[in-house]
Structure 1
Amino acid sequence: MGFHKISLTGRALKYLSQREHSRLELERKLAPYVEEGEDLAAVLDALEAKNFINPERVAQSVLYRRSGKLGASRVLHELRSKGLDDDTVRAAAEQLKDTEHARAWDVWLRKFGEPATTPQERMKQMRFLASRGFGGDVVNKVLRGQAPDED
């Protein structure tokens, strides 16, 4: 059985078949495999030209996977870390803004389910929601027991 070398394109397509990847993510993952005479940028350009790498799809994938558990600031940080452009991140922020209270409420319900009875418990709930990336105004609404449909 001979040794078979996977091309950079083949490796990139393997990663893309598992989930959406941004150009920066693929660059980071493929860099260790680049050999003399290979042009990683050209490989990525070709994949982008064929729409295999698509920033909007990457953003939608992250929103779908992460927004149920995380607040906007954490989700947007993840998008930026993937090297997505400002317009794509801004569009994602708009999408998240409308559902922030409802998402924070769902996370709070799953984790705690009932209002805090002591200042310590209230602080614990606040810290938990804040650590998940929910903003202070939304956290306060949730901890006051204000359900999303009361906005």
Structure 2
Amino acid sequence: MFSRTQLETPAAIRRSAMDLLARREHSYAELLRKLRQRGATTAAAEIELDRLVYDGLLSDERFCEAYIHARSQRGYGPVRLREELRQRGVAESLVEETLAAGEWDWPALARKAFCKRFPEGQASDALGRAKQQRFMQYRGFSGFQAG
């Protein structure tokens, strides 16, 4: 794919970062990891990423909002999104602030995910309810009660 020597110049590092950002938003940490995999040194990559932040082309806030929007529309809840964003290097305070914003109606999204997976409604037996609860927890909706 990329040779170790391809990302030795600042221009090459910036071009590679811009190519990645053209596809989708990335967090700072995610982009740093990808640039390092492509052969950039940590120090050189951080300098270019700081420039991208300064230019407004790289933003953890924008990444966080876009990520939460996209994943919540696919039926994932705040518990799972919090963990996924943590793994992508987004600051915990930013994640909490974005999740708490009034943009997302988590109970409605939980009901939608539940109804899509279980159109028959809440199970009548304990085993079925446990299965439904595990599904909702896996999706990131802790404490969800159907019905």
TM-score category (smaller protein): 0.7 to 0.9
Q: Unaligned stretches of 5+ in structure 2?
A: 1-5
1:106 aligns with 2:117: no
State the identity %: 29
5 Å-filtered alignment, 1:1-151, equals 7-34=12-39, 39-68=44-73, 69-95=75-101, 99-113=105-119, 114-136=121-143, 139-140=144-145, 142=146, 145=147
Give, in angstroms, the shift of residue 46 of structure 1.
0.9
- Name the TM-score, length of structure 2 as normaliser: 0.83
Asked if 2 retains the 8 angstrom alpha-carbon contact of 1:34 and 1:40, the reply is no
Aligned alpha-carbon RMSD (Å): 2.0
TM-score, length-normalised on structure 1?
0.81
Equivalent position amino acid for 2:141 in 1? F
Distance 2:40 2:95 in 1: 33
Deviation at 1:109, TM superposition (A): 0.5
Name the residue aligned to 2:3: none
Give the aligned partner of residue 149 of structure 1: none
Residue type of the partner of 1:55? Answer: D
Could you tell which deviates more after superposition, 91-100 or 109-118?
Answer: 91-100
Higher-Rg structure is 1
CA apart distance, 1:129: 0.3
Q: Which amino acid aligns with 2:92?
A: D
C-alpha distance in 2 between matches for 1:97 and 1:120: 35
**For residues 9-38 of structure 1, what are the alpha-carbon distances to aligned partners after superposition, in whole Å with 9 as ceiling and x for unaligned?**
1111011011100110001101023357x8
CA distance in 2, matches of 1:29, 1:43: 13
Give the whole-Å Cα distance in 1 for the aligned partners of 2:85 and 2:102: 12
Post-superposition CA distance 1:74-130 (Å, at most 9, x none): 111122222222331121220379612111100000000212122111111011001
- Unmatched 5+ stretches in structure 1: 146-151
